[in-house]
Amino acid sequence: MEPEVYFSALRNRQSHTDCFRALIQGIETYVSQFGKGSFVGIKMTVGDEKSTGHIKPEVVRVLVEKLKDQEARPFVFDTNVIYSGQRQNAVDHLNLAYRKGFTPDNLGCPYLIADSVFGTDSKAVKRAFHHVKEIKVPSLVTVMEDLIVLSHITGHIMSGFAGSMKNVAMGMASRAGKQIQHSSLKPYIVTAKCSLCGTCIEHCPVSAISEQSGTAFINSRLCIGCCECISACKLDAVNINWREDANIFAERMAEYACGILSMIKRKLFINFAFDVTNECDCIAGDDPRIVSDTGIFASQDVLAVDKASYDMLTKSRDIFSRGGKIKAHVHEFEYAQKIGLGSTDYRLVEIS
């Protein structure tokens, strides 16, 4: 039986908050599974300092209040990242979240960083996938029973499309787990394009880039595959083998998402198709939107909700392929279904 994906369209002059409220009312059966006394983890990200497209705290509060009305105990959480910036440790991460309005008073619940102050809370869980033999996640993830994933849909420098699967795979992994997923991505310098401006050297979190023979050079032994250098370079002088390496990256993400979600009993995935940018919230800043605001999707199937979101946003053209250069998201959908993560077939239910 095809999983249902509910869709609340953004109507003329409707706020994002009201659009979300309409969705919550339309998926009452889904939300009601998180009952009295349930500790419900709401996974989301606030993005980096300059990001403006992230899901706003007043929108999240709609869900928090609904869960509290059901006598559940919601909390919002995220994990630390592997690249440099304000989310590399819990102190700076929380201060950033508070500056962006994600305070307990505004949310109506706590905001937690799941993997400890320095991202060292990392528990290995055995899994028998093709690439990943064990997943590394914060201990919170191993005991969590109730999960709602709120994802801001964006493009992505490596996977093309970013939605719920990426939010789970990367966002619920420990820093060690994130590094494992990125490990197949080994960028290299296109020397003819490199001006040795030093930007990639400055942004590399593990000092894997240095000057060599008048150009930048990436030491593949030290490189962790975070691809911060690709995002930083404005001359297109950093590249990877998109066809091979990006597909392996997509497969590892699908395996990680499958491994994580197999441990959690009750799950709900919600994708927000507002302020969709070419880059993810880690680096997008206030970049121009690549598609008009559309609405919100929800499902109990993580793959179905991503595929439905992708299908609707790419009706006229694949805005996530970067001119056909990246197809990892298409491969990820196919591979995710192959390993049993979810279904690419679905039944779309529009909420009036």
Largest Cα separation within the chain, whole Å, is 65
Out of 6-20, 72-86, 153-167, the most confident range is 6-20
Which CATH number does 4-183+247-350 carry? 3.40.50.11440
- Tell me the per-residue pLDDT of 212-271, one tens digit each, with 9 for 90 and over: 999 999 998 898 877 778 778 889 899 876 666 788 989 999 999 999 999 999 999 999
Sheet holding 111-113, edge to edge: 111-113, 73-78, 39-43, 146-152, 266-273, 295-299, 4-9, 347-350
**Which pLDDT value is given to residue 185?**
74
Residue 179 has pLDDT above 70, yes or no: yes
Residue, of 92 and 224, whose pLDDT is higher:
92
Q: Where are the domains of the chain?
A: 4-183+247-350, 188-239
**Which pLDDT value is given to residue 243?**
61
The average pLDDT across 28-36 equals 96
**Which pLDDT value is given to residue 241?**
67
146 close to 34: Cβ distance less than 8 angstroms: yes
The average pLDDT across 93-103 equals 98
Both tokens of residue 248?
């392996």
Sequence-separated (6 or more) residues with CB below 8 Å from residue 94:
111, 113
**Which pLDDT value is given to residue 227?**
74
Mean pLDDT of the residues in the chain: 93
Q: What percent of the chain has pLDDT over 90?
A: 73
Sequence-separated (6 or more) residues with CB below 8 Å from residue 47:
53, 54, 100, 152, 281, 282, 284
**Which pLDDT value is given to residue 325?**
67
**Which pLDDT value is given to residue 71?**
98
Residue 2 has pLDDT above 80, yes or no: yes
Alpha helices in the chain (DSSP H): 16-26, 28-31, 57-69, 90-99, 104-107, 139-143, 164-169, 175-182, 199-203, 228-232, 242-261, 302-313, 328-338
Q: Are strands 39-43 and 73-78 parallel, antiparallel or unpaired?
A: parallel
**Which pLDDT value is given to residue 244?**
62
The average pLDDT across 102-109 equals 98
The average pLDDT across 277-302 equals 91
Distance CA 237, CA 215 (A): 10
Residue, of 326 and 207, whose pLDDT is higher:
207
Cα Rg of the chain (Å, integer):
19
266 vs 43, 100, 326, CA distance in Å?
Answer: 13, 29, 33
CA angle 32, 72, 266 (to 5 degrees): 55
Distance CA 68, CA 80 (A): 27
Residue 286 has pLDDT above 90, yes or no: no
The average pLDDT across 51-64 equals 96
CA angle 59, 163, 307 (to 5 degrees): 115
- Tell me the per-residue pLDDT of 297-331, one tens digit each, with 9 for 90 and over: 999 999 999 999 999 999 988 988 877 767 788 99
**Which pLDDT value is given to residue 285?**
81
**Which pLDDT value is given to residue 242?**
61
- DSSP class of residue 11 equals P
Poorest-pLDDT segment among 199-203, 304-308, 346-350: 199-203
pLDDT band at 176 (very low <50, low <70, confident <90, very high): confident
Residue 180 has pLDDT above 70, yes or no: yes
> How many angstroms from the chain centroid is the CA of residue 117?
21
Q: Is 268 helix (H, G, I), strand (E, B) or coil?
A: strand
The fold for domain 188-239 equals Alpha-Beta Plaits (3.30.70)
